[in-house]
Amino acid sequence: MRVHICAVGRLRAGPERALIDDYLTRFGRTGRGLGLGPATLSEVEDRKGGGMAAEAALLDKAVPAGARRIALDERGRILTSVQFADTLAGWRDTGTGDVACLIGGADGLDPGLRDGADLVLSFGAMVWPHMLARVMLAEQLYRAAAILAGTPYHRV
């Protein structure tokens, strides 16, 4: 099951980018034998200033046809890492070929895009900068693969 991180805005080289690249590489290595991965990052930008609706249209185009959608939003469900891993494994086991994780811009995700997601996921009640949300998502993807592989990375 391929994973696509679809995010508004471009992340430049720096520590956040290095962390994302590292975790997505780890996810690819760990998940390969489990039927998870690879993971890719698609960045979109609304250069015309159309707001959340324009960003939603760009994000929607970045999502592969038939993909399950995970919208990252502070109003979403808070899952444990094990629950997140189980969700991914369940989708994989029922034949889902692609999962797209959607991260909005400064104003968040358009309500229509958020409401159409298969899962609305929150990393807590606090608002996180989009660059850190990407890092946290990449780490949780790797952690999910590590949990499913039974590695000692995740300790309960």
Domains defined along the chain, listed by start = 2-149 (3.40.1280.10)
The pLDDT > 70 percentage for the chain reads: 99
pTM of the model: 0.95
Digit-coded pLDDT (tens) for 40-88: 999 999 888 888 999 999 999 999 999 999 999 999 999 999 999 999 9
Residue 114's identity, in one-letter code, is R
Residue 156 confidence (pLDDT): 61
